[in-house]
Amino acid sequence: MPPTRLGATTPLVPPLFQSSVYTVPDLDVLDRIYNAEETGYIYARDSHPNASRLADALTQLHAGKWSQVCGSGMAAISACLLPFLRSGDRIVASNRLYGRTNQLFRQEFHRFGVTTTVVDCNDVDQVRMALESPARALFVETMSNPLCRVVDLPALAEHCRKRNVHLIVDNTFATPVLCQPLELGATMVMESLTKMMGGHGDVTLGSVTGNDPDQLLAVAQVSSMWGFAANPFDCWLAERGLSTLAIRMQAASANAAALADWLAAQPGVSRVIYPGRADHLDHELAKRLFGDSFGNMLCFELENRDAVNRFMRQAPNIAFSPSLGSTHTTCSHPATTSHRYESPAEKRRQTITDGLIRLSVGIEDIDWIKAEMAKGI
């Protein structure tokens, strides 16, 4: 979207359009706007200038053809899938997903007659076999939450193409700075803009980006009817965040790499999980997909829940946060937050223990981060 001109001048910072409705001079103009024959806005639940500006920026970042901004990451996942799901359909999904995404697929969609087959998407042969039966979509995370398992997107995309299955990728941990799933064969990519994309812990948004224009019409219609609209102020804040995304991601990833190695040498830490380390199960694949930068997310394990509580009390400047991606380093506890409602057996399968801490590494000075972390370990 071009800059907004005010007479002979242009504001350096894009304006915030807080209006919920827009007026038209007559019904002929109204018809042309609804028929996409003329540019304009009617009702903010359908679209508004700040959402359009943000969508244009996201489309460029993902090298796509269109984007739709939604009110949250979960709204974006729903907007990806609802347009083409019918009762009796089947989804194939990774067995390593954010807890609420699991609930959406296994509980909410199930109520509408949509079944979900859960497979190990790090095993491409297992995915291939799962796709031999009819399926509408394969849903994966580029890097899984919380254990940062990396999937082979080009290989998965090839199997999806052969079976005419939509490959939908949650790219939240990677962001388009590390990975552009559309370039690797994905049908659509979604982001929780609440996280690293917004970057300052002050927005709740999600987005969907794709290449097929027909999909945009369907996603936009679902977004309007189901009430997935994005707030103008949050869109304005998120567009601001995008301007520093690359430099923040670079700094936070460098900090995470250094911190992962430092944590591995601490006597109280039994396990460190970071794709940039050679001992990570998917390190070689991560190098192939991401190059030499592996993101700002890592996990480390202490002895038990008591040790986690002790860490939180003694290192209060590493703030507890059930979200991630702020400029500040924060910690979370997957067993009681992101995967709280998973069964004990499922937590054991994913090795999400009571001592596991997920760390979202920020852009502070690395020596300061180490010093604050050391207070609790």
Q: Are residues 71 and 184 in the same domain?
A: yes
Q: Are residues 82 and 213 in the same domain?
A: yes
Q: How far apart are CA 76 and CA 162, in angstroms?
A: 26
Q: Are residues 264 and 185 in the same domain?
A: no
User: Where in the sequence is the domain holding 362, given as residue range(s)?
Assistant: 245-374
Flag whether 181 is in a domain: yes
Q: Are residues 129 and 193 in the same domain?
A: yes
Flag whether 263 is in a domain: yes
In this prediction, residue 36 carries a pLDDT of 86
Flag whether 367 is in a domain: yes
Q: Are residues 236 and 269 in the same domain?
A: no
- The two tokens of residue 289 are 């997909």
Flag whether 32 is in a domain: yes
Flag whether 198 is in a domain: yes
Q: Are residues 189 and 265 in the same domain?
A: no
Q: Are residues 232 and 252 in the same domain?
A: no
> Which CATH number goes with the domain that contains 200?
3.40.640.10
Q: Are residues 226 and 263 in the same domain?
A: no
Q: Of all helices (H) and strands (E), which one includes residue 366?
A: helix 366-374
Q: Are residues 294 and 253 in the same domain?
A: yes
| String of DSSP letters for 270-287 | -EEE-TTSTTSTTHHHHH
Flag whether 9 is in a domain: no
Per residue of the chain (377 residues), give pLDDT as tens: 566 777 789 888 999 999 999 999 999 999 999 998 999 999 999 999 999 999 999 999 999 999 999 999 999 999 999 999 999 999 999 999 999 999 999 999 999 999 999 999 999 999 999 999 999 999 999 999 999 999 999 999 999 999 999 999 999 999 999 999 999 999 999 999 999 999 999 999 999 999 999 999 999 999 999 999 999 999 999 999 999 999 999 999 999 999 999 999 999 999 999 999 999 999 999 999 999 999 999 999 999 999 999 999 999 999 999 999 999 999 999 999 989 988 999 999 999 999 999 999 999 999 999 999 999 99
Q: Are residues 101 and 228 in the same domain?
A: yes
Q: In what order do the strands lie in the sheet with 115-119?
A: 66-70, 206-210, 188-192, 166-170, 137-141, 90-94, 115-119
In this prediction, residue 341 carries a pLDDT of 87
> Which CATH number goes with the domain that contains 319?
3.90.1150.10
* CB-based contacts of 63, cutoff 8 Å, min separation 6: 180, 182, 183
Flag whether 257 is in a domain: yes
Q: Give the end of a domain, one of 242, 271, 295.
A: 242
In this prediction, residue 242 carries a pLDDT of 97
Q: Are residues 234 and 249 in the same domain?
A: no
Distances (CA, A) of 298 to 132, 166, 187, 360: 34, 29, 28, 7
Q: Are residues 266 and 231 in the same domain?
A: no
Query: 221, 83 in Cβ contact below 8 A?
Result: yes
How many domains, the chain?
Answer: 2
Largest CA distance in the chain: 73
Flag whether 5 is in a domain: no
